[in-house]
Structure 1
Amino acid sequence: MDLQTLTYIIVGLTFVLYIGIAIWSKAGSTKEFYVAGGGVHPVVNGMATAADWMSAASFISLAGIVSFVGYDGSVYLMGWTGGYVLLALCMAPYLRKFGKFTVPDFIGDRYYSQAARTVAVVCAIFICFTYIAGQMRGVGVVFSRFLEVDVETGVFIGMFVVFFYAVLGGMKGITYTQVAQYCVMIFAFMVPAVFISIMMTGHIFPQLGFGSQLIDAAGNSSGVYLLDKLDGLSTELGFNQYTSGVKSTIDVFAITAALMVGTAGLPHVIVRFFTVPKVKDARSSAGWALVFIAIMYTTIPALAAFSRVNMIETINGPEQTGVAYDTAPEWIKNWQKTGLITWDDKNDDGKMFYANDARNEMKIDRDIMVLATPEIADLPAWVIALVAAGGMAAALSTSAGLLLVISTSVSHDLLKKNLMPNISDKKELMFARLAAAIGIIIAGWFGINPPGFVAAVVALAFGLAACSLFPAIIMGIFSKTMNKEGAIAGMVSGLTFTVAYIAYFKFINPEMNNADHWLFGISPEGIGIIGMLVNFGVAILVCKVTTKIPNDVVLMVEAIRFPKGAGDAQDH
């Protein structure tokens, strides 16, 4: 059976599974739509959280980043995993104790202010839209390669599938769909990693193969360690040494910290902890999610290294002298059709050559690495099709979670809590589904017409979460003195500073985007941590010169700080 037919079958079967789950778990109330009725088992919620958290950025892009930049790519591994630990330990149980539906719900009630709620809604919607644009584009890229349709058609198909199970099932449908998507995703990621680890090092566990010696065609040890091989290839071809970085220490620290606090402030991840019955279950589901996440995240560096060696030797040949294009592997020509690989025969010798100097004739998009790895390693067609299904699962699972945040922010926080307080439960559910449908249309438009600065938009999403929602949530939980004036001023100032900094260096004056002009040597990707400090500083100063918080709010904070009991999500 050919690759395209296998891909249609495997991806089609996963879509049928997702839609079937959505029909089975259709939401019948706002509580089921917003928080799955608050009765999700911790292990199930942990798996769904892992799928929600591990977006197309994790499945498709992260191994590509590490593969291309080596040591410096570790900031993403540390930042994103560290952020989840921060969220699980410092925020999840306390927010579950509060027992609301959304992050703006918490901020609005904790700071006894509709203005604070509205600012939080704006932040949440903007974060989610910037994130979801990349997810929908990822859907289009996967389809364009493996189903041989154009990117626009791929985005439309993805829009339909997400629309069906997100709008119909809400959080209830999304939760159980994400469990299935996690299973598809992790199986699709681990199978090629195990295959390649055995082929290159003889180890069944990629994590062990990462630090092992390579084996020869006869299965005997070559005496050369994988990372030593990569270091040698990298320096020979003009790249930086794979195991050493070029970023400054302060920038590495800032990016890691910004990704950590940004991850911990992402509303679509936080809301997952509102779906379990008890505070104890929130802690338990956080632990399970870490286990499920660790399976992929400890494998990513190994897969990145394996893929890098295979890619270079496939393009340049074992002797690094180039390979004739006419006899080049099919994977190169297949990805050329998508425009994500280009070849310019500079010396007219008919051979390809990949390097980081004047010899280079190849332009390779780093986002193809995971999707192309099975083809590069010449694995069976069913493995290639499985990876395509995994990439789709990663993009769709996060898209659904983000759309739910958008819909609940509009229907619950703007309409029910602000503009239309007397609407019925049925009408609120209708508005939530309508908001999700409109959100899908807008996200699909961004997927079809992506801005030319997708990487900057992703950085902006993390920066926004770090500088706006994270400080407000932390102070809301752990401070009994922070008032509404301080929280609002902090969110607005942190948001303004971060947006201005990223906009200046990424869009307004990109030629100045280098370490010589950055504030304290911190790149736009890491500036969210400074925005966070601005938020904290302004909030504390404003709080000191404005009125004290009401006594009932002090009692509320004290109750949150001792997370005992269930704390059912309420609609008041």
Structure 2
Amino acid sequence: ATGADWMSAASFISMAGIIAMGGYAASAYLMGWTGGYVLLAPYLRKFGKFTVPDFIGDRFYSKTARLIAVICLILACTTYVIGQMTGAGVAFSRFLEVDKNMGLIIAAIVVLFYAVLGGMKGITYTQVAQYVVLMIAYIIPAIFISLNITGNPIPALGLFGTTEEGITMLAKLDGLITDLGFAAYTADVPDKLNMFLLTLSLMIGTAGLPHVIIRFFTVTKVSDARSSAGWTLVFIALLYTAAPAVGTMSRMNLVETIYPNGTQSAPIDYEARPEWMKNWEQTGLLKFEDKNGDGKINYYNDKSKDEAFKATVAEKGLQGNELDVNNDIMVLANPEIANLPGWVIGLIAAGGIAAALSTAAGLLLAISSAISHDLIKK
């Protein structure tokens, strides 16, 4: 249940999307979103309190501190639940083939329904099932795509595997996107201090996520809290070790779909775009604008500062990037881009929905606990 709480839409949908578009520099999110709470969980449970504001209020002997903690918890959870609802809306919009706003409304109704009726016990059992669904949904498509590209069924190893051209997948992707004016996928980070501080900030922030911490108040012993935290890391690692490979493969599949004959050749015509593009256009998360009127999908980095690349762009008569791809669709669209079977496409949509709904329910539970226990009761 803690693993399902942790692996939200941010982990399932957005993280691989960020890595797909940001490359090595985006690995800060992968490193920062793990492990922080392990340092705090046993000690919070040892204090013997029911909620985070309860712990803070008694720790500092202050009702004011408790009230401030409640306000901070509500603000943090509300901000986070907006992101979860957005992720669920993305998944529902594709699954039901509706606009992303309608998908968001449907997701909100579903979460509200079972969060209100279930309570802590009901949500816990639901989240166990959701964890199983989201892990199967994430790993199986990754295995299929890794096999297609590198022949290795383990995505984390396939990331460093060799493609049919005889070069590593990372080297191939570097070549593809640098031809389009983007920075190399494996390019080093110029400011390592900034990356370290970002990673540290993410770790400290995730250590204080109320909907995760509240899980450790439900066990009977400190040792159980410590053991639970350890097992949670194991379950999280199953997804997090696959995420870089999923991001890499989705970016490569996207570029090769648009430039089937190589990046030095012309891109595909808009009218000849694959079905998955048409499907995602309906959601508003993938947009095309024919800026130069040639009817082709000219996808490249129009913000590149490389003078040689800018000269090449001018020579071709291009007037700007014409394809806007939302990061959040990269994971969900990846099986479609790779032409995997329909049941695999449906599976990953179910996983995205499960990830978003499980965390959203946990956040709502944390908010309701803080209000009922720390505001009304206290």
Q: TM-score, normalised by structure 1?
A: 0.62
1:23 aligned partner? none
CA–CA distance in 2 between the matches of 1:67 and 1:76? 12
Q: Report the secondary structure of 1:276's partner residue.
A: coil
Secondary structure of the structure 2 residue equivalent to 1:346: coil
Equivalent positions of 1:92-491 (< 5 A) are: 92-215=41-164, 222-246=165-189, 248-320=191-263, 321-357=266-302, 359=318, 360-417=321-378
- Give secondary structure in 2 for the equivalent of 1:356: coil
112-121 or 337-346: bigger deviation: 337-346
Count of residues in correspondence between the two structures: 360
TM-aligned CA deviation for residue 246 of structure 1: 4.6
Q: Deviations over 1:166-220 (max 9, x none)?
A: 22221111111100010010011011100000011001101111001012xxxxx
Q: Distance in 2 between matches of 1:150 and 1:325?
A: 21
State the 1:153 CA deviation.
3.4
Partner residue, 2:36: 86
Shift of 1:411: 0.6
* CA displacement at 1:318 relative to structure 2: 2.9
Deviation at 1:315, TM superposition (A): 1.1
2: distance between equivalents of 1:202 and 1:318? Answer: 22
Distance 2:90 2:36 in 1: 32
1:76 aligned residue: 29
Cα offset, 1:278, TM superposition: 1.5
C-alpha distance in structure 1 between counterparts of 2:244 and 2:262, whole Å: 25
Equivalent residue letter for 1:180: A
Q: How many angstroms apart in 2 are the aligned matches of 1:267 and 1:137?
A: 20
Superimposed CA distance per residue, residues 394-451 of structure 1 (whole angstroms, 9 cap, x where no aligned partner): 110110110011101111001111xxxxxxxxxxxxxxxxxxxxxxxxxxxxxxxxxx
Is contact 2:285–2:329 with CA below 8 Å preserved after alignment? yes
Partner SS, residue 363 of structure 1: strand
Q: Which amino acid aligns with 1:54?
A: M
**Displacement of 1:141:** 2.0
Amino acid at match of 1:99: G
What is the CA-CA distance between 1:99 and the residue it aligns to? 1.7
* Rg larger for: 1
Matched letter for residue 256 of structure 1? T
Q: Unmatched 5+ residue regions in structure 2?
A: 303-312
Give the Å deviation of 1:307. Answer: 0.9
- Using the TM superposition, give the Cα deviation of residue 50 of structure 1 relative to its aligned residue in structure 2, in angstroms: 0.9
Q: 2:90·2:329 contact (CA, 8 Å) conserved in 1?
A: no
After TM superposition, where is structure 1 displaced by more than 4 Å over at least 4 residues in a row?
none
Q: Is the 8 A contact 1:75 1:256 kept in 2?
A: yes
Contact 1:72–1:247 (CA under 8 A) maintained in structure 2 = no
- 1: distance between equivalents of 2:364 and 2:221? 25
The percentage of counterpart residues that share the same residue type is 61
Q: Is the 8 A contact 1:143 1:150 kept in 2?
A: no
Of residues 118-127 and 317-326 in structure 1, the stretch that sits farther from structure 2 once superposed is: 317-326
RMSD across aligned positions (CA): 1.3
Structure 1 stretches of 5 or more lacking a match?
Answer: 1-47, 216-221, 418-572
The DSSP-based 3-state class of the residue aligned with 1:342 is strand
Provide the C-alpha distance between the structure 2 equivalents of 1:203 and 1:415, rounded to a whole number of angstroms. Answer: 56
Q: Is the 8 A contact 1:335 1:341 kept in 2?
A: yes
Higher relative contact order (CA 8 A, sep 6+): 2
Quick one: which amino acid aligns to residue 110 of structure 1?
Answer: R
Q: CA deviation at 1:247?
A: 5.1
Following TM superposition, by how much is the alpha carbon of 1:346 offset from its aligned partner in structure 2, in angstroms?
2.7
Contact map agreement 1:70 1:245 (CA 8 A) in 2: no
Distance 2:242 2:299 in 1: 26
| 3-state SS, counterpart of residue 351 of structure 1 | coil
C-alpha deviation, 1:335, in angstroms: 1.1
Q: Is the 8 A contact 1:96 1:282 kept in 2?
A: yes
What code does the residue aligned with 1:409 have? Answer: A
Deviation at 1:348, TM superposition (A): 2.4
Aligned equivalents of 1:49, 1:247: Cα separation in 2: 36
Q: Are the aligned partners of 2:115 and 2:361 in contact in 1 as well (CA < 8 Å)? A: yes
What residue is the counterpart of 2:306 in the other structure? none
Q: Return the letter of the residue paired with 1:76.
A: Y
Q: Deviations over 1:518-557 (max 9, x none)?
A: xxxxxxxxxxxxxxxxxxxxxxxxxxxxxxxxxxxxxxxx
